[in-house]
Structure 1
Amino acid sequence: MADERTRYFRQLGRLRRSARRWSVTAGGLGGAAAVLTPYAGLGLPDAAWAAGAGGALVLAAWRWIDLRALAARPAPPELDPAEAAARSRARLVAAVERLPVGPGVLAEVRRVRSRMALRGTSAAEPWARLDRAALTLAGMTGRLTGLAEPALLEAAEADRSLRDLAAKVASVERALRVAPAAARPPLAEAHRTLTGQLEQGVAAYERLVVAAAGYVAEDARPDADHPAASRLTEATDLLHGVAGALSELRGVGTPLRTP
């Protein structure tokens, strides 16, 4: 979707082309009527030429009036380049989200961008562990129902909080690299504190994922044999019985040979 300034000039160009097209049409039809009418007098064909010329002339006049009215309005101000880029990016994201695989593609792009932003910092390794654990938990989401649903909500909130904490660790670490010597001790202490919190949070998240896997495994484990295995066993026994019966029938139907 174009911005207001682009739409203004696009509409202006359309009106100008339309006004010129109808002016040419009106001139052609009017000239034809002026040349052809004196030869045979006025008749139905001449009336058609004249009516066409008059209609084209009226439409051309309307288009020129609309063009002048639009041109008299001031053009919308030009967008700031940063704002224009942001709007273009938002339109692209909206277009991709409408595709069947769009949300998944956008999520992967955001993950890669976040990982690249943390590259070279101490937050990169905990973030990678958190990302692997989050993907593992996402694969079990459909089976974590009932009593496990509150845990999913807590996990989603913890995921957002830990990713934000990883970004803070990276920011403090980068500031620590360029800070003067006098300002480094408090920054280093803050970095150690944040890093410790990030490590603890990621470890707790991983334990939650392990517990969720145990819940899924326990919930899916039947009390006896799996129903599919039981049905396959019954089918196997049935086939063995049918094969034995066919073998006996063949023996009965074969005549005995006399020596």
Structure 2
Amino acid sequence: MDERSKYFRRLKRLRNSARRWSVLGGGLAAATAVLTPYSGIGVADAIWAGAAGGSVALAWWRWSDLRELAATPAPPPPDPALSGQRLTAAIERFPAGRTVLHEVRRQKNRYALRGSAITQAWDRLDRASSTLSGLSGRLTGPGESAVLEAAVSEQWLRDLGQRVASVERALPLSPADKRASLEESHASLAQQFTGGVDAYERMVAAAAAYVAEDGHPVTEGSHPAFTSLIDATDRLRGLAEGLSELKRPTSFGSAGTST
């Protein structure tokens, strides 16, 4: 909650409190004024009078606090950008929220490149980035530095892609005598972007190869976990067969004796 909302919330709370104590104090004071003459001042009347005086005093303090707060200028309204940032930060605290925001940003950037010559290369970059995200948790040791370098390279490529799209949108607006030079610059940027995407895909393929090789056992043969799984299966099968033999009723052969 921003400071401006807190200010008006406190103002409303003080106003309601002042009204409640004013009504309560007025009611108790009226009851004291009416009931006291009938029986004189006794213990009950003293309690009525004390409650009435306390309520009136609290009402007066509440109205004083309300006037003091109302005389203070209200804080300025919050910047909508900051509110949006706080909302985004709150959503990103949850994994599902991060996924949704990532998809929204991806679609927004993709929409900005509609009709561009680098649209297919941009889609390839998206697929490679998603693949690397799935591999990054398994790129340990020397692979961690490669993940950081890939993140920097991806940011550079996305900025370059947006730059290419911006130049491409400006081509129809350029003068005829300057258009050839601008088209040449655009082609150079587009070629640089496509080459960068190719290099990024090769890096993702190398990361996949690293993860695949890192999962192989050091020695020849099956992974120790796989071997242990086979051994455990054989042991359980043997125990099951043994229990089955124990529970099977024993058949006694009857030896016939002829009399």
Bin for the TM-score computed over the shorter chain: 0.7 to 0.9
Of all paired residues, the percent bearing the same amino acid is: 54
Distance change (3 Å), C-alpha of 1:71 and 1:229: closer
Tell me if structure 1 keeps the 8 A contact 2:171–2:183. Answer: yes
* Comparing 229-238 and 212-221, the one that deviates more: 229-238
String of CA shifts for 1:13-45, please: whole Å, max 9, x gaps.
Answer: 322222222111111110011001111111111
What one-letter code is carried by the residue in structure 1 that aligns with 2:177? A
User: What does residue range 108-119 of structure 1 map to in structure 2 within 5 Å?
Assistant: 108-119=103-114
Residues 24-83 of structure 1: per-residue CA shift (max 9 Å, x gap): 11111100110011111111111111111111111111111112222222333456xxx3
Whole-angstrom CA distance in 2 between matches of 1:117 and 1:108: 14
Contact kept, 8 Å, 1:123 with 1:167, in 2: the verdict is: no
SS of the aligned residue for 1:140 comes to helix
Aligned residue in 1 for 2:127: 132
Give the corresponding residue for 1:22: 21
Match of 1:227 in 2: 224
Do the aligned partners of residues 94 and 231 (structure 1) sit closer, same or farther apart at CA in structure 2, a change above 3 Å counting? closer
TM-score, structure 2 normalization: 0.84
Which residue pairs with 1:104 in the alignment?
A: 99
Contact 1:29 1:53 in 2 (8 A): yes
Which amino acid in 2 is paired with 1:61? W
Q: 228-237 vs 165-174, which deviates more? A: 228-237
* Cα distance in structure 2, aligned partners of 1:225 and 1:114: 45
Aligned-residue CA RMSD (Å): 2.8
Q: Is the 8 A contact 2:171 2:182 kept in 1?
A: yes
Judging changes above 3 Å, is the alpha-carbon distance between structure 1 residues 53 and 99 closer, same or farther for their aligned structure 2 residues?
Answer: farther
Q: Among 206, 210, 226, which residue is 2:205 paired with?
A: 210
1:123 to 1:56, Cα distance in 2 relative to 1, 3 A: farther
Q: Between 63-72 and 130-139, report the one with greater CA deviation.
A: 63-72
Partner of 2:48: 49
What stretches of structure 1 of length at least 5 have no aligned partner?
none
CA contact (8 A) 2:3 2:75 kept: no
Long gaps (5+) in structure 2: none
Q: How many angstroms apart in 1 are the aligned matches of 2:54 and 2:120?
A: 75
Of stretches 163-172 and 122-131 in structure 1, the one that deviates more from structure 2 is 122-131
Aligned partner letter, 1:2: D
Picking from 182, 188, 192, the partner of 1:193 is: 188
How many Å separate the matches in 1 of 2:147 and 2:140?
Answer: 9
Give deviations 1:139-195, integer Å, cap 9, x for gaps: 111221122222112111101111111111111111113333233222212211110
Note the 1:133-212 alignment, pairs <5 A: 133-212=128-207
CA distance in 2, matches of 1:20, 1:186: 75
Once the two structures are overlaid, the 10-residue window that deviates more, 8-17 or 43-52, is: 8-17
Partner SS state of residue 12, structure 1: helix
Instruction: Please report the TM-score for the alignment, with normalisation by the length of structure 1.
Output: 0.84
**Secondary structure, in 3 states, of the residue corresponding to 2:137?**
helix
- Mark the CA change 1:58 to 1:211 in structure 2 (over 3 Å): closer, same or farther: same
d(CA) in 2 for partners of 1:140, 1:75: 52
| 2:7 and 2:74 in contact (8 A); partners too | yes
Q: Distance in 2 between matches of 1:243 and 1:65?
A: 88
Q: Are 1:2 and 2:2 counterparts?
A: yes
Residue by residue over 1:202-236, the C-alpha shift from the partner in whole angstroms, topping out at 9 and shown as x without a partner, is: 00000011111111111212221233443454456
Could you tell me how far apart the structure 1 residues matched to 2:164 and 2:119 are?
10
Q: Secondary structure at the match of 1:192?
A: helix
Question: What SS is found at the alignment partner of 2:190?
Answer: helix
Q: Secondary structure at the match of 2:74?
A: coil
